[in-house]
Amino acid sequence: MVRLLMHFGWTWVGLVSMEKGSTQSTMQIIKDDILQAGACIAFLEDLPVSFSKQRMIQAVQMMKKSSANAIVAIATEPYMITLLEELARQNVTGKVWIATHSWASSSLLSIVDFSLVLAGTIGFASRRGVIPGLGNYLYSLNPLKQPEEPFTKEFWEQAFGCTWQRSVTNQTTTRARCTGSERLQDLNENVLDVNNFRLTYNIYNAVYAAAHALQDLQSCQPGKGPFLKGVCASVHNFEPWQVIQSKHSTKAIHYIARNHKIIRIFIFG
């Protein structure tokens, strides 16, 4: 991200993040990298997770007045929607927003009301791909089949706008009862897109890559190993650096995934 900022000559940068959670550590890393690259921080805005309209108004007013043209936003999609609504209300345009993976591929980028605010936005998104069997598994989930799984019930209520009998505490509720006959396949992709788990897909590939590297070491033939003089690693005592160099010291792991895609992972350093 910092290399991108330097490439475009953005050396006066604003940073926006949520006040709590993992975004804080990410913010600190980006801040340190920006300063180390010789650029400067125009402002650093930590907005509270619990919504405060007055605080949001003040923060956006400050962003509007700032001479920084590039702003890095580290926040979740729901939080960004709240921020963008206020940016649009105050007609804050002409800024280049740098999106992190948490909202870089979000559908909010296609919302017409935000088009002027987000014009020119650049984002970093992980590669997407199909994990064989994951979609069918997710579609098979049902609170009636997995009654011991509380997350499924909670998601069901939010996705279908209904409520299970166990959660009815107010008899005047207008929400319909969940029946379990609702179909996850009928949900809009904005609610559930089984082929858009980007981070999950990359973790899936990383696990398979590690497994293939370990298999290569385990099946190594003495005299034909990847190390000096064809030496093989100890079958019962692999070292991390040996796993990385398992492919004849090329520092690359290459395999064909179950979805028939060719995966190449290169290790630098």
- For position 193, what pLDDT does the model report? 79
Token code pair at residue 256 = 């064909």
- For position 266, what pLDDT does the model report? 56
With beta carbons less than 8 A apart as the criterion, state whether 150 and 140 touch.
no
Residue 250: is its pLDDT beyond 50?
no
Kindly report, residue by residue over 74-88, the tens digit of the pLDDT: 988 888 888 999 999
Strand-pair category, 262-266 with 252-256: antiparallel
Residue 143: is its pLDDT beyond 80?
yes
Q: Please tell me the distance from the alpha carbon of residue 34 to that of residue 31, in angstroms, as a whole number.
A: 5
Q: Where is pLDDT greater, at 22 or 239?
A: 239
To 10 degrees, the CA torsion angle through 229, 232, 234, 240? 90
Average pLDDT along the chain: 83
- For position 25, what pLDDT does the model report? 83
Mean pLDDT, residues 195-210 = 81
Counting residues of the chain whose pLDDT is more than 90, the rounded percentage is 37
Tell me the pLDDT band of 243, cut-offs 50, 70 and 90.
confident
**Is pTM, for the whole model, over 0.95?**
no
Tell me the pLDDT band of 50, cut-offs 50, 70 and 90.
confident
- For position 269, what pLDDT does the model report? 41
DSSP type of residue 39: -
Phi and psi at residue 136, in whole multiples of 5°?
Answer: -60, -40
Q: Please tell me the distance from the alpha carbon of residue 123 to that of residue 131, in angstroms, as a whole number.
A: 23
